[in-house]
Amino acid sequence: MQEVAQRAGVDPDYLDRLVELGILTPAAADAFSPGDALRARWVQSLERAGVPLDGIAAAIRDGVLSFSFLDVGAYDRFAGLSGTTFQQLSAQTGIPLELLMVVREAVGFAEPRPEDHVHHNELSVVPLIQLQLSKGFRPVAIERWLRAYGDSLRRIAETEAAWWNSEVEMAMLESGMTEGEMLEAQADLGSQMAPLIDQALLAIYHGQQEHTWSQVFVEHVEGALEARGLYRRLDRPPAMCFLDITGYTRLTEERGDEAAADLAARLARLVRRISQEHGGTPVKWLGDGVMFYFREPADAVLAALEMAEVVGSHGLPPAHVGVHAGPVVFQEGDYFGRTVNLAARIAEYARPGEVLVSQEVVDAAEGGPVTFTEIGPVELKGVPGTLRLHIARRPA
């Protein structure tokens, strides 16, 4: 019982109480299953949220509710608590306590106390942090990485839970199943889908890694050749343009996935037509915007201004756009290189409704029907040095 109570993060007396109420039904005295540990943890969460234990017990007795689905394989991934506290783990590994505590936040829970016990899945993160620190990684960089993982995976998990509810649970209830039958049936389906979801998630992640690492590799090669005088700038370089929607993530969270999908579809129709009219090509659709390729920087600026205006006039959140001109590498339908990275960073810096361009774009687009107002040397996130940026406007 002591081991199960520890994994569940509850007192042994609490387990006794759950057994008395019939919420836990061990096969024999102290013969608890891994599912019992998860049941105890989740039931305690329900109680803390204001759900009465007596009510839960009555629903189980009446057959209205069942937690037996927690015994299926899909729930084995939810690790219990270890016997080690964060304070002890810090002393054992030499990892700063504050950094270890960020791991708890990365997996989706509130900041722990030093005396709280570490989850077994959190222990799996520790070897990588140890290696990073041994190679001179700064703790602030590791913390940033942990929080990025946590935030991105939280959004994936929340989206997954939303379509599971709409496509599985609600569909089963609408077919006539009781709540208890639905919980059992969805758990069986979850056991079939969980390994396939893991497989798909890892495959997509590896694809994203290849894309990002290719981008970094191209930039390293460009930098090395440029430093040796072996890299000749193009006289008329192409332009990359990034258009992002302001507040897209917040809108998705407030209005749901259907509203986000509708916004993306409307945005796609608008900007595709405008970019093509100016000789541009939509390269890919991102979570909150679009990436374009233009053969002529002047055309990229005209298209960017028109897109920013049209997006705002069609009831969509304002767009902010960044344009940079320079050499790019084309591979498998995508574009790579420093030019792409800088265009994305410029778009991030632009304010809602604003089109920002680099000095290279101004030089290449000079003489066109656009005015440029320099905002001075600007430092951009992840970009060494400063860039001369300009606000593009149509003449009054």
Intra-chain end-to-end CA distance of the chain, in Å: 78
Q: How confident is the model at residue 278 (pLDDT cuts 50, 70, 90)?
A: very high
Task: Give the ranges where 49-138 is alpha helix by DSSP (H).
Answer: 53-61, 86-93, 97-106, 120-123, 126-134
Q: Provide the β-strand partners of residue 289.
A: 244, 286
What's the CA gap between 125 and 346, in Å, rounded? 34
Q: Are 338 and 304 in contact (CB under 8 A)?
A: no
What's the CA gap between 267 and 352, in Å, rounded? 15
What are the φ/ψ torsions at residue 177 (nearest 5 degrees)? -70, 150
What's the CA gap between 374 and 363, in Å, rounded? 12
Q: What is the three-class DSSP state of 261?
A: helix
Q: Which residue has the higher pLDDT, 376 or 146?
A: 146
CA triple 372-377-380, angle to 5 deg? 105
What's the CA gap between 261 and 288, in Å, rounded? 11
What's the CA gap between 387 and 356, in Å, rounded? 11
Question: pTM higher than 0.95, yes or no?
Answer: no
Radius of gyration of the CA atoms of the chain, in A? 27
pLDDT in tens, 281-290: 888 887 677 8
Per mean pLDDT, which range of 5-9, 284-288, 355-359 is the poorest?
284-288
Per-residue model confidence (pLDDT) at position 64: 80
What's the CA gap between 8 and 78, in Å, rounded? 11
Domain boundaries, the chain: 2-71, 81-212, 239-393
Per-residue model confidence (pLDDT) at position 286: 77
Q: Which helix (H) or strand (E) holds 34?
A: helix 34-48
Query: What's the CATH number for 239-393?
Result: 3.30.70.1230
Per mean pLDDT, which range of 67-81, 201-215, 335-349, 371-385 is the poorest?
67-81
Provide the phi-psi class of 342: left if phi over 0, else alpha when psi is between -120 and 50, else beta: alpha
Q: What does the DSSP assignment read for 158-222?
A: HHHHHHHIIIIIHHHHHTT--HHHHHHHHHHHHHHHHHHHHHHHHHHHHHHHHHHHHHHHHHHHH
DSSP 75: G
